[in-house]
Each structure stands twice: as C-alpha cells, then as structure tokens.
C-alpha cells in the first residue's frame, strides 16, 4: 500500500476556505476586505451589541420584554462568538489549512467505490452548508422586512435607541441588517469549516484503520516482510500523530466557542420554551419561540455530533491496532511498538470547551434536560 497525499484543490474543503478568505478575517484576505471586516464592522458591532444589552435596563416591564431582548442578545451572540474566534485565533485556522495537503488521498486502497463514498460525504456537508445559507437568507428577508409591514415593530430585533431619535433608529436598523448578513455568512464559514474538518478527520481515521488492517505479520516468512511491516507501522504511527495534532489545533481554535454555544443553547431553549408553555403568549410569540428552539438545537447538533463521530472512529482505530497479529513478529521492536501505540490510541480523542466541557452526544442531551429544568423553574416563579 502506497501512502499518497491529497491536493487541497481537489478537496471539498477548498469550497469553505474560499469563502473564509472572502470574509476578510483570514490573514491572506485582501487589505480592503480585512479593513472593512476587522477595523470597521467589528468595532461597530461591539458598540451595537452594547446597545442591545443596555436595552435590559430600559425595557423590563413584563417577562415578554425580557424574552424579546434575550432573543436579540442570543441572535447576535452567534456573530460575536464566531467573529471573535476568527479574529483572535485566526492563526490556528491558517495552521490547520496549511496541514490539509498532508491528508491521505481517498483512493488509498485503490478502490474507486471507497473514494466515491468519502467524496459523497464531503459533498453532503457542502450541500448542508448551502442549505444553511439559503435558510439564513429567507430568515434575513423576513426579519428585515417585518418593521416595514408591522407598525408595532421599530427594528427587526430589540435594541435600545438613544433618545428614540428617528435618525438613530435608521442607523441601527441599517446596522442590524448588515450584521444579520454577517451572521448568516459566518454560520456557513465558521460552522462549515468545523463540520468539514471533523468529517475529514473521521475519513482520515478510517483510511488509517484500513492501512493498519493491511499490516500482517506472518510466522512462516523471513525478515524481509517483517521489515516492510515495520516501515508501515512507523508510517501509520507518524500519520496518527499528525491527525492528533490537527485535532488539537481544531479543538483549541473552537474551545471558547464551545463554551459560549453551550450557555446560549441552554438560554435559547429554556426562555422560548417558557414562552410556548405560557397561556398568555400570542401565536406570534409561540411561533418565534419554536423557531429559536429549533435553530439553537440545530446549531448545537452541528457542534456535538461531528465531534462524537470523530471520537468513535478513533476508538475503532484502537481496535484495529489490537487485532494486529503482533505475536507472529520475530523482532521484539515490532511487538513493543504495537503495544505502546495501542496504549496511546486508548486515550479518548475528545473535543473540550475550555478543557472542562466535553463535546459529545451525552452532553448534548444534558443541555436539553437543563433547558427544560430551567424553563420549569421560571414557570414556577411566575
């Protein structure tokens, strides 16, 4: 088996990397794009987000006022967490992109069916990202046009308007539309990059597992075959360490985002659920609450499920190493190497948020239970 490396231009990852470069948040982005995105829009957004939070001070007469403001805070928090991660940890994203050409080709085993299967997985992820963008554009159109047709709405999302001056209202409305466009765009770029990288890591671990399964020590052969197996073992081990390093960089780049997404998903579940269960809620409030719950859970599923799949595939690699017939090896170094490598692969390959929050499916289910519990607590207090 010959280990061949892929070219980034042939990968589906190039699709999202292209849009990442266009965002103006990558180090290789054009000067004008970077200046507008980082030095103009980002400071304006921080000022705008401060006004959104200050609205809690001036609009808190009913629980529905709180829900309306919280909906605005959580919606634009999606932009804050993603853009801040790209601005602060952009070098990590660039490091990961530079490592992509070192990934093995999908036709490692010489089978077109395998290559087509892996390519289909990546293509499905790209289609899902495009679907997110289309859904975001529809939502953007609906929210942006709502103040035009609904007289009671002055802005698409609740925000404090200094002095309730019309000129400020127009400026804030324009900023909300611009930032809403950024939210939709970065949902595809940021979350899409994570989704595609996790899918790619899972595929690479599967290829590594196939390479390990092809290593066979035979008791009835001379040392020539065993030396070949030794070289393959070293190559597979080095590649495994490379995949672990990419995984660590990916985890570090998204660590803070994981924590933010956890808390906003809990809030995005419990508060709308309280509104839905409240008898005094209007149909519009119920529909909006249901939409927020669905959106929050789709976004959290995009974070937790891909990470869990990578962790499961890493565990399968450990089983493949365990099944190597190392006992037929004549050279002691081959036996020791397999045992030490097996011990290394038995350490769970987990994503974590700030080193304390595990990113896997059991924790995702705990978020749903926590959101329901907090919602019940709020209902009991009213």
Averaged over 15-35, what is the pLDDT?
Answer: 90
CA dist., res. 252 & res. 49, Å (int): 26
Q: Which of 207, 201, 206 is nearest to 248 (CA)?
A: 201
**What average pLDDT score do residues 124-143 get?**
90
| Domain residue spans of the chain | 8-381
What CA dihedral angle connects 184, 188, 189 and 192, to 10 degrees? Answer: 160
Where do runs of H (alpha helix) occur along 150-215? 166-186, 192-213
pLDDT computed for residue 271 by the predictor: 81
CB-CB neighbours of 52 under 10 Å: 21
Rounded-to-10 torsion of CA 181, 182, 183, 185: 90
Best mean pLDDT range from 210-224, 269-283, 361-375: 361-375
Q: Which residue has the higher pLDDT, 258 or 218?
A: 258
Distance separating alpha carbons of residues 69 and 49, to the nearest angstrom? 11
CB neighbours of residue 217 within 10 Å: 21
User: What pLDDT, on a 0 to 100 scale, did the predictor assign at position 5?
Assistant: 52
What span, in angstroms and rounded, lies between the C-alpha atoms of 314 and 350?
9
d(CA 345, CA 354): 23
Residue 2 pLDDT grade (very low, low, confident, very high; cuts 50, 70, 90): low
Token digits for 283?
């149909």
Residue 342 has pLDDT above 80, yes or no: yes
Task: State the pLDDT confidence band at 10, using cuts at 50, 70 and 90.
Answer: very low
Structure tokens at 349: 């390959």
- pLDDT-derived band at 36 (thresholds 50, 70, 90) equals very high
Query: Do 96 and 181 meet the contact criterion of CB atoms below 8 Å apart?
Result: no
pLDDT tens-digit readout, 242-256: 999 999 999 999 999
Residue 179 binned pLDDT confidence (cut-offs 50, 70, 90) = very high
With a cut of 90, say whether residue 84 has pLDDT above it.
Answer: yes
CA-only gyration radius of the chain, Å: 25
Helices 166-186 and 42-58 cross at an angle (nearest 10°) of 120
Q: Are 138 and 145 in contact (CB under 8 A)?
A: no
d(C-alpha 159, C-alpha 236), whole Å: 55
Please indicate whether residue 127 or residue 7 has the higher confidence score (pLDDT). Answer: 127
pLDDT classification of 221: cutoffs 50, 70, 90: low
Q: How large is the average pLDDT for residues 44-59? A: 89
Q: Which of 232, 236, 179, 218 is nearest to 329 (CA)?
A: 218
SS3 state at 279 = coil
Task: Give the percent of the chain with pLDDT over 90.
Answer: 41
Structure tokens at 316: 């399968």
- DSSP letter at 110 equals S
Q: Residue 3: is its pLDDT beyond 70?
A: no
Average pLDDT over residues 223-233: 83
Average pLDDT over residues 140-147: 85
Mean pLDDT of 45-61: 87
Phi then psi dihedrals of residue 2, to 5 deg: -100, 130
pLDDT in tens, 268-322: 788 888 888 877 777 777 887 888 888 888 888 999 999 999 999 999 999 999 8
Residue 100 and residue 11 in contact, taking contact as beta carbons nearer than 8 Å: yes
What is the rounded average pLDDT for all residues in the chain?
A: 86
Contact by Cβ (8 Å): 74, 293: no
pLDDT by residue (tens digit) across 94-124? 999 999 989 998 877 666 677 788 889 999 9
């Amino acid at each position: 088996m010959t280990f061949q490396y892929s070219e980034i231009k042939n990968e589906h990852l190039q699709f999202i990397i292209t849009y990442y470069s266009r965002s103006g948040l990558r180090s290789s982005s054009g000067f004008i794009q970077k200046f507008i995105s980082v030095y103009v829009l980002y400071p304006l957004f921080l000022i705008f987000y401060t006004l959104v939070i200050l609205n809690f001070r001036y609009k808190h007469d009913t629980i529905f006022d709180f829900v309306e403001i919280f909906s605005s805070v959580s919606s634009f928090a999606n932009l804050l967490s993603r853009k801040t991660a790209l601005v602060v940890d952009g070098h990590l994203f660039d490091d990961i992109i530079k490592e992509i050409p070192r990934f093995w080709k999908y036709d490692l085993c010489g089978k077109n069916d395998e290559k087509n299967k892996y390519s289909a997985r990546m293509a499905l992820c790209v289609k899902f990202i495009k679907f997110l963008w289309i859904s975001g554009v529809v939502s953007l159109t609906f929210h942006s046009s709502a103040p035009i047709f609904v007289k009671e709405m002055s802005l698409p999302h609740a925000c404090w308007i200094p002095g309730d001056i019309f000129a400020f209202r127009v400026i804030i409305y324009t900023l909300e539309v611009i930032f809403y466009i950024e939210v939709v765009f970065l949902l595809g770029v940021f979350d899409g990059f994570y989704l595609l990288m996790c899918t790619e890591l899972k595929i690479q671990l599967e290829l590594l597992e196939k390479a390990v399964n092809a290593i066979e020590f035979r008791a009835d052969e001379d040392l020539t075959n065993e030396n070949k197996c030794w070289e393959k073992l070293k190559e597979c081990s080095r590649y495994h360490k490379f995949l672990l390093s990419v995984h660590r960089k990916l985890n570090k780049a998204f660590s803070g985002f994981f924590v933010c997404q956890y808390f906003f998903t809990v809030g995005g579940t419990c508060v709308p659920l309280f509104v839905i269960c409240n008898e005094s809620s209007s149909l519009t409030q119920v529909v909006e609450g249901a939409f927020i719950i669905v959106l929050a859970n789709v976004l959290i599923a995009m974070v937790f499920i891909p990470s869990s799949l990578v962790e499961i595939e890493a565990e399968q690699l450990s089983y493949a190493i365990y099944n190597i017939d190392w006992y037929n090896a004549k050279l002691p170094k081959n036996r020791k190497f397999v045992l030490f490598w097996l011990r290394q692969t038995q350490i769970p390959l987990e994503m974590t948020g700030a080193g304390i929050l595990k990113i896997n499916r059991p924790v995702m289910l705990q978020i749903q239970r926590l959101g329901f519990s907090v919602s019940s607590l709020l209902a009991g207090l009213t």
